[in-house]
Amino acid sequence: MDIAPWHYAWSMSSASFNQCRTQRDVSKFTHIKEEVRNIPWSSCLPIIKHLQSTPEITQAFEYLPKIENVFKRKNESRQDRFKLSSKNLLKHLMSIAVQEQRNILQELVWKDWKVQAQATLQSYTKLPDSTLVLSSDYGVDAVKPDKNGNYKGRHAGVINQLPESVYSEPLPHTRVQNYDSRMEWIQKAAEKYHLLMLSNKGRPFLEKELAIIAGWGNSKADFNVGKDSNDGKI
């Protein structure tokens, strides 16, 4: 509800994006008032200031015109476009990461003492595994080599050709409930993702995995809707 709509708005009209950005305030969207109220987590909206723009969102989207101008060049290869945009791509990525981690998740999730306690327990038990996976796989075992150093399953013969591994474990001193500590780990994961995106081998892998994730929205899977579902209260 926060990150994706910003990008949708930019895709629809980058020219009018800044005007729309400053007007975004869910509490004033009277035409969808009932729909918003019906969302299970609607009570949290005041905590995150009704999804209004932040300095991080402003900053993140200031990089996009510079990036897009490079990608419009017809005399550059796609690989060169990524390299020429490298710094701005990473800055955009990290601005979005700060928005998500500090302005949204830190306020909604990590300030809860019960979540902090669970995170502390998880750091000792290692259950569940908190490894970040840069693919559409649910488990890290799908992208890690076996004891013999071989990759199996659908990634066999693929991941071993990439310039970076596609998973990122928490740093030994990471305390995920602490914003600064968590961001140190996320910075490392973002740099790994960034290097893969700059590679002619890593980029096709990530783009394929992102396409799979994008397709989840069309899933017809039969499952039980829990109380935290976005399907609403009624």
Spell out, as residue ranges, where the chain has pLDDT lower than 70: 223-234
Secondary structure (3-state) at 86: helix
pTM of the model: 0.89
Each residue's pLDDT tens digit, 51-71: 999 999 999 999 999 999 999
CA distance 6 to 127: 34
Tell whether the torsion through CA atoms of 91, 191, 143 and 185 is positive or negative.
negative
Q: Are 49 and 24 in contact (CB under 8 A)?
A: no
Q: What pLDDT score does 234 carry?
A: 46
Q: What pLDDT score does 159 carry?
A: 95
Each residue's pLDDT tens digit, 2-27: 999 999 999 999 999 999 999 999 99
CA 37 to chain centre: 25
CA 46 to chain centre: 22
